[in-house]
Structure 1
Amino acid sequence: MPVDPQLRSLNIDIPAQPEALVKLSLLLADEDVNMQALSGLIESDMALAAAVLKAVNSSLYGLSGRVQSVQQAITFLGTREVAAVTFEMGLKAVFPAAPELEPVWERAGVRGLLMGRIGQALSVDPWAAHSAGLFEECGKAVLFRHAPDRYRPMITTASSDEELLFLEHQEFGVSHDALGAALCESWGLAPAAVHSVRYHVIVNTTRELPMQVQRRAICAISALANALIVDPDTLDDVARAVAPQADLDVTMVLRGTRRVKEQIEAAVARSAG
């Protein structure tokens, strides 16, 4: 998909999707995904396969025993979560390694997993939810890649994403939410995921879902995941605010979100034990 011409005029480069992820997207487009083909594709890139195995063996997934192959990972975690981890590693690889970006990638992995599983619990497009979570802050990496010396003070000192948007607009004429959405669109993510990335700061600040977006459930899931990560005590209030705007039942949303939280906490506890 084309990048917004207005963004092109700013001369901020949107990195192209790696070839392995292009092929992975084509495989995932098939309703009956060939697991052998999927594992073979990931394992054909040694660096990517190693990064995927390292990720799935982390405490976040809490698997019993060490997973030795991508095929094993798919068996234990399922196609969607392994594909999402692959996208996470592929996304990270197109940007420079920098200490300032490590918190962005750490949050991306946790948020993507949360959103994918909440989406699954609520029967709301788990792949779109997971990918939206992974890509939510990727616009920060785009700006860091574009102008590291100018962006470093902003990303390290801004007290909130809302303040960061203001600083970005002042310095670059564009903010990370718009750039992140542009990257998502150029990489072929679902429109619902693109919209969630584009509006996540506004949603998290105001608890108001964008009226111009028809399918708002992914935006709602983003707000729920943000509440779990930033301040779990606000979960009930956030759910009651956003669920009706996305035509979701508040009780079902709270039940599903809490169940996902408990599953991930239990996985981490098992791994630590």
Structure 2
Amino acid sequence: MHLPEKLPLPCQPRVVALLMNELRQEMPSLRRLNQLFGSDPVLAAWLLAQANAGVYQLSGAVQSIPQAVALLGVAQLRGLQKKAYGHIAQRVVGLEQLGAFSSACARLARSLAQALSLDGGLVYAAGLLHGLGYLVVQHTPVQAVTGLAPWDPLRPHWEEKNLGYTAAQAGAHLLQQWGLPAPLTRLIDELEHPLDMAEFDPLVAVLHLAVWVQRGYYSHWPEREMVRNFPIEVALAVGLDMDVVLQQEAPDWSQSVY
């Protein structure tokens, strides 16, 4: 998989502005910082990349946004905010909606994981960061002819057929290059086919279900279509009922501590 050397990865202007305001405080709120870094795929990726940098001697050990925020000092977080400020000039169509979609996937994945007593922080990060792949794929030559929204349920099949890889895999590849932990990048890399893994991982199944549900909602699928196309085999593999998955609430990000 070949990725462009320079990727203009944009951050959401509203999130950057709110982060700037919070970091101006004498004692920024950790909860608020978790909320803001946990609502933008690019910001979250930079945060986790820096937290896993060799200088902290924790390479590969920081797997969630709260861990990263707690590890880095305010000076380092302000540095990330300034970097983000330099990446909001480019106007990207649908960026705010893509951010909202990725956040919704992350919240739902965390809710399902917690219902199964699995690692909610790890799968939240994976759900949010999988959206980074859509920004990566935007810069491939074939992208211009797709006509499918990033969250279209048919999009992964189209990508596999025309690109040879999915947006999630492109994002996972980039995050691997940035030094993010293997458990996190593997969740994203295996997202589309959880039942094809050599060793089944319930967190991948949870992530798949969360992303699939949000794709349907953001594509305005009617309830009948959601039920008819629901990946029942994946849900059964982790012991989740279809009604539970479809009715599970993904709490508003402003109420989140992740």
Shift of 1:129: 0.9
Q: Match for 1:120 among 103, 114, 132?
A: 114
Maintained 8 Å contact 2:102/2:128: yes
Q: In the alignment, residue 242 of structure 1 is paired with which amino acid?
A: V
AA aligned opposite 1:69: E
Aligned counterpart, 2:145: 153
Which amino acid in the other structure matches residue 230 of structure 1? G
Q: TM-score, normalised by structure 2?
A: 0.56
Residue 115 of structure 1 and its aligned partner are, at CA, apart by: 1.7
Structure 2 residue 175 is matched with structure 1 residue 184: yes
- What is the CA-CA distance between 1:242 and the residue it aligns to? 1.9
Structure 2: distance between partners of 1:256 and 1:175 = 24
Given candidates 57, 63, 84, the residue that maps to 2:38 is 84
Letter in 2 for 1:194: T
Aligned to 2:129: 135
The ranges of structure 1 where at least 4 consecutive aligned residues each deviate by more than 6 angstroms after the TM superposition are 47-50
Report how far residue 182 of structure 1 moved. Answer: 0.5
Secondary structure of 2:196's match?
A: coil
Residue 145 of structure 1 aligns to a residue whose secondary structure is coil
Once residues 117 and 104 of structure 1 are traced to their aligned partners in structure 2, the CA distance between those partners, rounded to angstroms, is 20
Q: Unpaired runs of 5+ in structure 1? A: 1-6, 18-46, 56-67, 204-208, 268-273
Change (3 A) 1:125 1:97: farther
Alignment of structure 1 residues 202-217 onto 2, 5 Å:
202=193, 209-217=195-203
Q: In structure 2, how many angstroms separate the alpha carbons of the residues matched to 1:48 and 1:230?
A: 23
1:110 CA drift (Å): 1.7
Shift of 1:179: 1.1
* 1:166 Cα deviation after fit: 4.2
Equivalent residue, structure 2, for 1:42: none
Q: Residues of 2 paired with 1:72 and 1:212: CA distance?
A: 44
Please say if 1:222 is aligned against 2:208.
Answer: yes
Q: Distance in 2 between matches of 1:53 and 1:116?
A: 26
Measured in 2, the distance between the counterparts of 1:237 and 1:143 equals 26
Instruction: Check conservation: 1:112, 1:134, Cα contact below 8 A.
Output: yes
Is 1:241 matched up with 2:249?
A: no
Corresponding residue of 1:13:
5
How much does 1:220 deviate?
2.4
Root mean square deviation, CA, Å: 4.6
Shift of 1:255: 5.0
User: Offset at 1:175?
Assistant: 3.9
Identical pairs, percent: 13
Q: TM-score, normalised by structure 1?
A: 0.53
Stretches of structure 2 lacking an aligned partner (at least 5 in a row):
47-83
How many residue pairs were aligned? 203
Q: Is the 8 A contact 1:48 1:86 kept in 2?
A: yes
Q: 1:105 is aligned with what amino acid?
A: G
- Post-superposition Cα deviations, 1:142-170, rounded to whole Å, max 9, x if no partner, equal 132354xx52332547962134314542x
Cα gap change, 1:230/1:257 in structure 2, threshold over 3 Å: closer, same or farther? closer
* Partner Cα separation in structure 1 for residue 12 and residue 29 of structure 2: 14
Structure whose residues are more often helix by fraction: 1
Compare relative contact order (CA 8 Å, sep 6+) and give the higher one, 1 or 2.
Answer: 2
Instruction: Please state how far the C-alpha of 1:239 moved relative to its aligned partner.
Output: 7.4
How far has the Cα of 1:13 moved from its partner?
A: 3.1
